A = this chain, B = another copy of it.
Amino acid sequence: MKFTIDARSGKARAGRIETAHGTFETPAFMPCGTKAAVKGLEPRDLRDAGIEILLCNTYHLALRPGEALVAEMGGLQKFMGWNGPILTDSGGYQVFSLAPLRKITDEGVTFQSHLDGATVKFTPERVVEIQEMLGSDILMPLDEPIPFPPDPKVARLALDRTHAWWKRSRAGRGALFGIVQGSIVPELRKESAEAIAAADPPGFALGGFSMGEPAAQMDEMVAYTASLLPDARPRYLMGVGMPRDIIAAVKAGVDMFDCILPTRMGRTAMAFTDEGLLRLRNAKFARDERPIDPSCPCACCRNHTRAYLRHCFSVDEMLGPRLVSLHNVQYYGRLMKELRTAILEDSLGKVTTWPKVP
């Protein structure tokens, strides 16, 4: 993996990352193809939206269809028909969200499959092995996010474990990022950044954000954490977020993002626009002949009115979720392109002129 910085604007960077499955420009947004499919969207739809890299989930794919099958089919990219780079998360977050079903020890995490109750064990070594079998371009180590608000004792234990696991995490072919944890505690973030950087990974993930902390606190701690990381490595803010969060983080020097919001909100009739979120189930759209956004080049905005989209949701037509997801992913794709252009032109300040951006 090779990261090149093309331009800077303040702390923000515009760059490109080369992987075995192609190059993507940064700042980059990765839609979530959790189970090897971005919900309702084809690879060509994602390309049309300017998307260049996807995120998939190790936990879900290890359960179904299993990493061995994916490896046999030539890797995740070929399996899902995505001709481009893929990042996989370690499955740690999913395992921790199964709280009553899992047990964490220094060795790793033992849990019951949410599908059939079978006992599964994830260790730092095992999650890297799974991701290598999946053929990921960028891999994530096993980590233990700290719940918000952080309890000092819990935070201490979790951070120590994350760092101990990190020492056991080594990848072969793929680029294994390190994950910096530490919740909203500056001292812990600093300690974590140093512990992770000791192994000089090819990139750094900022983990443990969007856990319920207020937006301003998140912005501040993301900026602080980014400032602790080596300039020459890409920075990836995991699971974030709303457009405003992404804009703030790009300004702080973050390069990569993933979030389920564009597709999850698309499935519930919520459309992103620079004028705010449109709740398309609202009766006021019943006769609205405008597209979601007249300036948007997506197939939904080129061909469909708000009135029609509202109708699709009213009568439970699956075309509604697809079309609004299509638009939302395009919205995120355009946002990243605008941010990148602003960095190349060193005019990133202008991007604050979106007062209603969601």
Contacts and interface: CB of A to CB of B under 8 A. Distances in A.
Interface of A: 35-44, 60, 64-65, 69, 72-74, 79-81, 286-287, 289, 299, 303-305, 307-308, 311-312, 314-315, 317-323
Contact of A311 (B36, B41, B307): B36
B39 A73 contact: no
Given A37-B312, A81-B304, A323-B42, A73 B318 contact: no
Nearest to A320: B37
A74 B80 CA distance: 40
Contacts of A299: 42, 44
9 contacts: A37-B320, A40-B318, A42-B299, A42-B323, A64-B311, A73-B289, A79-B307, A79-B308, A81-B303
B69 A319 contact: no
A49 to B, nearest CB: 15
Contacts of A287: 69, 72-73
B311 A39 contact: no
A283 B43 CA distance: 25
Given A42-B323, A81-B304, A315 B35 contact: yes
B312 A73 contact: no
Given A39-B318, A41-B319, A69 B304 contact: no
Nearest to A63: B315
Contact of A319 (B39, B303, B314, B315): B39
Given A38-B319, A318-B321, 6 more contacts: A36-B317, A41-B319, A44-B299, A64-B314, A65-B314, A69-B287
B65 A286 contact: yes
A105 B64 CA distance: 56
A311 B44 CA distance: 19
A329 to B, nearest CB: 13
A260 to B, nearest CB: 14
Contacts of A72: 287
Contacts of A80: 308
Contacts of A317: 35-37, 39
A320 B314 CA distance: 23
Nearest to A83: B303
Contacts of A44: 299, 303
Contacts of A308: 36, 73, 79-81
B319 A37 contact: yes
Nearest to A317: B37
Contact of A42 (B38, B289, B303, B311): B303
Given A65-B311, A79-B307, A308-B81, A40 B73 contact: no
Contacts of A307: 69, 73, 79
A319 to B, nearest CB: 4
A94 to B, nearest CB: 14
A40 B317 CA distance: 7
A79 B299 CA distance: 15
